[in-house]
Structure 1
Amino acid sequence: MLDRMSEKRTIGAAERRARLAVRHRLAAGARAGSAAEVGDALVALHGTDPASVFLAVGARLGDGVKPVGEVERALYEDRTLVRMHGMRHTLFAFPASLVPAVHASTTHPAAVRERTTLLAHLAAGSDFDGAWLAETERLVLAELAVRGEATGAELGDAVPRLRSTYVYGPGTRQEGVQSVASRVLRVLGMEGRIVRGRPQGTWTSSRFRWAPAEPHPEREPADARAELLRNWLAACGPATEADLKWWTGWKVTDVRGALAVLGASAVALDGGGTGFVLPDDLDPVPDPEPWAALLPALDPTPMGWQARDWYLDPEHRPALYDRSGNIGPTVWWNGRIVGGWAQHPDGRIVHRLLSDPGTEARHAIDAEAARLAAWVGDVRVTPRFRTPLERELGSA
């Protein structure tokens, strides 16, 4: 419908939830056939907790697709998903096609700051200078070119410089000894020169090997921002300017510039706010069939918007988020968060509803819990950022 006062198309909360169901591949009829499809649909999968990528993809795959093997193939063989730092200095898994845009729009500026900071820390707390750092990086890259991939420890054995340390914050309360290796590898990763490869251990492990990164074309930052925002609005529109600034971590002027390049359309939201969608995305979206989902901690759907009242009861926030704003595992019914879940020490998937969604919903949620338990199997999954409800359920 059109708002008679502003002539803006109104997209209310119910339609936003319908868009989310289909575009985030959560409704049963919208589920994906591959990890690459999920990555393309969601734009960015939170990768700070390695298990989140697998759980987020698994929640959205159709029957018959094995999540662990599918995600591992996408990350480590086909390289259709690439782990790298992106928005808000956070680690994500991105579709390979978006890597140039993410790097130019978001990662490169952060990498410049990261290198500047490292050089300043080395100058203050060691005898190492820029030439020493450049030679160390050259040796690391040469070693990876020969090996193909290696752990940080293996690289330290081959390049002893990496085992060096420096004093962080000399003369301050934060003074301490830090390893050169972790900082050098982080900078090289943020600059797109190396990439995280297959981990040691299971798919929940965060001890990654490193490998040479595939080269990608350089992009103009403004064009890159427009491309990234175009993909994100296709998945998550409508979104407010505040949502966009929060999700990207950009300056508000950069957000507005990208919206202008895209010719984004302003729409009215419930409560009188203004959101933005792509100019060809104004057609009404019908409700999908009823659906349930169990999404992991840091899943990109609940972490997609700064303003969340249209899918989350504010009274449920304290149970589902930690003090830093990281969301824990959530239970969904028809586009709303209705509870949380955890894995019990004995392996069972247990959940608690924070509101009563009805009998149909309870049966569907139980079925999703059983589906999740079937593919997780004997692996134990504990979120890196634990929330009150997850802690309670996981120890009950």
Structure 2
Amino acid sequence: MTTLDSRALNRATLARQLLLERADLPVVEAVSHLCGLQAQEPQEPFVGLWSRLRGFQPAALDELLTGRRVVRTHLMRRTIHLVTAGDVLAWRSRHDAMLRQRVLGVYRRELDGVDPGGVAAAARAELARDEPRTMADIGRALAGRWPSAGPRPLGELAIAALVPTVQVPPRGLWRAKAGVRNARLSSWLGCDVDPLPEDGADPIGQALTRRYLAAFGPATGADLRAWSGLAGLPAAVAAIRDELVAFRDEHGRELLDLPDAPRPDPGTLAPVRFLPAFDNAILGYQDRSRIIDDAHRNLSVAGERVVLVDGRVAATWTVGADTVTITPLRRFTRAERTAVDEEARHLTAFLTDAVRTS
């Protein structure tokens, strides 16, 4: 079995994540290919797409959100993701159990004895009466029936787990400062999520596995679980095993992949790229060493924006008034410093030009 070292995995990741070369793709196709973008910080996906797409304009994403072709919703890992309407309809039911378990795990004591079915029915009725609503609105309404649980646990259980919802615009639009208001996914998109099969088969899990490998592979089963938050995917992987190819990493772990997916030569040059906070190019793996050193791993969960140099996290960045400030994590060569500064100028131009035209 062929061994892929860290650099080979890095170049494969960059290629799948559209970071090795900016792609000429419509925004909706890019969001679909990437299996969504983590988006709890509503402005971050704009930089993520700018770094991946040639000529990206914020208005293109705004139009998809207001046109209901892309939505903001709780999905992978119970985090807010920006995903296509088709993907959330196809994937949401497979995430239901995980979403519920994670909320109940956080509020186990407060929600002890609370009937989830009753909470879901009451929340749907509240949303049907007056959409969209904030999570706090729903929590307060439900607390009248379950006063011992408290508004916040009830609101999170209903909105983040039990009732498929979306965060409606203007939340998530370019430069919009808007609070979170939630609407039922079914009413926002005009149709409901795909149901789970009753025969115990897992076609959704199989489809998720294929899509994950297309955007993140080669990867281990642990990587797939870390990205999705789903525990029950080994059977789905086993069901499509004959479709996949296998490799080993430097630690002897098995990596699975789609046979025709890009795996560039490890010597391929990687351009400087600026990544937003919580980018899935980093968070989409259990073992993130292919793209970030273990010493800097916490940056990926602390909301730091990072700079890739030669394909790896080498700096953090912040933005002020018309200025992008870079803080290196290691010493740059003169050529690297020049390349980072040049890309920073392009990013500054994108941010300032987009402000003027928004």
**TM-score where L is the length of structure 2:** 0.80
Q: Partners of 1:14 and 1:130 in 2: how far apart?
A: 49
Q: Which of these residues, 151, 155, 167, is aligned with residue 196 of structure 1?
A: 167
Q: Could you say if the C-alpha distance between residues 291 and 353 of structure 1 is closer, same or farther in structure 2, counting changes exceeding 3 Å? A: same
Q: Could you say if the C-alpha distance between residues 75 and 57 of structure 1 is closer, same or farther in structure 2, counting changes exceeding 3 Å? A: same
Quote the residue 1:23 is aligned against.
16
Structure 2 gaps of 5+ residues are: none
Q: Which of these residues, 314, 329, 333, is aligned with residue 358 of structure 1?
A: 333
Q: Work out whether residues 74 and 81 of structure 2, in 8 Å CA contact, stay in contact via their aligned partners in 1.
A: yes
Quote the offset at 1:293 in angstroms: 0.7
Q: Work out whether residues 329 and 341 of structure 1, in 8 Å CA contact, stay in contact via their aligned partners in 2.
A: yes
Quote the residue 1:57 is aligned against.
49
Q: Could you say if the C-alpha distance between residues 235 and 132 of structure 1 is closer, same or farther in structure 2, counting changes exceeding 3 Å? A: closer
Quote the residue 1:143 is aligned against.
130
Quote the offset at 1:87 in angstroms: 2.2
Superposition map of 1:31-180 within 5 A: 31-63=23-55, 65-66=56-57, 68-77=58-67, 79-111=68-100, 134=121, 137-144=124-131, 150-152=132-134, 161=141, 167-168=147-148, 178=151
Quote the residue 2:264 is aligned against.
285
Q: Work out whether residues 223 and 285 of structure 2, in 8 Å CA contact, stay in contact via their aligned partners in 1.
A: yes
Q: Partners of 1:279 and 1:58 in 2: how far apart?
A: 29
Q: Work out whether residues 93 and 196 of structure 2, in 8 Å CA contact, stay in contact via their aligned partners in 1.
A: yes
Structure 2 counterpart of 1:186, one-letter code: I
Q: Which of these residues, 217, 237, 253, is aligned with residue 194 of structure 2?
A: 217
Q: Partners of 1:276 and 1:130 in 2: how far apart?
A: 38
Q: Work out whether residues 119 and 142 of structure 2, in 8 Å CA contact, stay in contact via their aligned partners in 1.
A: no
Counterpart check, 1:343 vs 2:343: no
Q: Could you say if the C-alpha distance between residues 379 and 185 of structure 1 is closer, same or farther in structure 2, counting changes exceeding 3 Å? A: farther
Q: Which of these residues, 288, 312, 328, is aligned with residue 304 of structure 2?
A: 328
**TM-score where L is the length of structure 1:** 0.73
Q: Work out whether residues 243 and 305 of structure 1, in 8 Å CA contact, stay in contact via their aligned partners in 2.
A: yes
Q: Could you say if the C-alpha distance between residues 307 and 138 of structure 1 is closer, same or farther in structure 2, counting changes exceeding 3 Å? A: same
Comparing both chains, which one has the higher relative contact order based on Cα–Cα distances under 8 Å and sequence gaps of 6 or more?
A: 2
1:330 match: secondary structure: strand
2:130 match: secondary structure: helix
Q: Work out whether residues 32 and 38 of structure 1, in 8 Å CA contact, stay in contact via their aligned partners in 2.
A: no
Quote the offset at 1:294 in angstroms: 0.8
| CA deviations over 1:77-96 (Å, ceiling 9, x no partner) | 1x332222222222211222
Quote the residue 1:384 is aligned against.
none
Q: Work out whether residues 331 and 341 of structure 1, in 8 Å CA contact, stay in contact via their aligned partners in 2.
A: yes
Q: Could you say if the C-alpha distance between residues 133 and 279 of structure 1 is closer, same or farther in structure 2, counting changes exceeding 3 Å? A: closer
Quote the offset at 1:116 in angstroms: 11
Quote the residue 1:258 is aligned against.
236
Q: Partners of 1:178 and 1:154 in 2: how far apart?
A: 7
Structure 2 counterpart of 1:91, one-letter code: I
Q: Work out whether residues 85 and 107 of structure 1, in 8 Å CA contact, stay in contact via their aligned partners in 2.
A: no
Q: Partners of 2:305 and 2:204 in 1: how far apart?
A: 32
Q: Could you say if the C-alpha distance between residues 202 and 25 of structure 1 is closer, same or farther in structure 2, counting changes exceeding 3 Å? A: closer
Cα RMSD (Å): 3.7
User: Whose radius of gyration is greater, 1 or 2?
Assistant: 1
Quote the offset at 1:167 in angstroms: 4.5
Q: Could you say if the C-alpha distance between residues 120 and 15 of structure 1 is closer, same or farther in structure 2, counting changes exceeding 3 Å? A: closer
Superposition map of 1:348-387 within 5 A: 348-377=323-352
Number of matched pairs: 343
Q: Work out whether residues 142 and 154 of structure 2, in 8 Å CA contact, stay in contact via their aligned partners in 1.
A: yes
Structure 1 counterpart of 2:170, one-letter code: P
Sequence identity percentage? 22
Quote the offset at 1:62 in angstroms: 0.9
Q: Work out whether residues 163 and 180 of structure 1, in 8 Å CA contact, stay in contact via their aligned partners in 2.
A: no
2:286 match: secondary structure: coil
Quote the residue 1:231 is aligned against.
211
Structure 2 counterpart of 1:341, one-letter code: W
Q: Partners of 2:152 and 2:274 in 1: how far apart?
A: 39
| CA deviations over 1:107-162 (Å, ceiling 9, x no partner) | 3552488699999957979xx99769735632421433xxxxx3539978xxx946
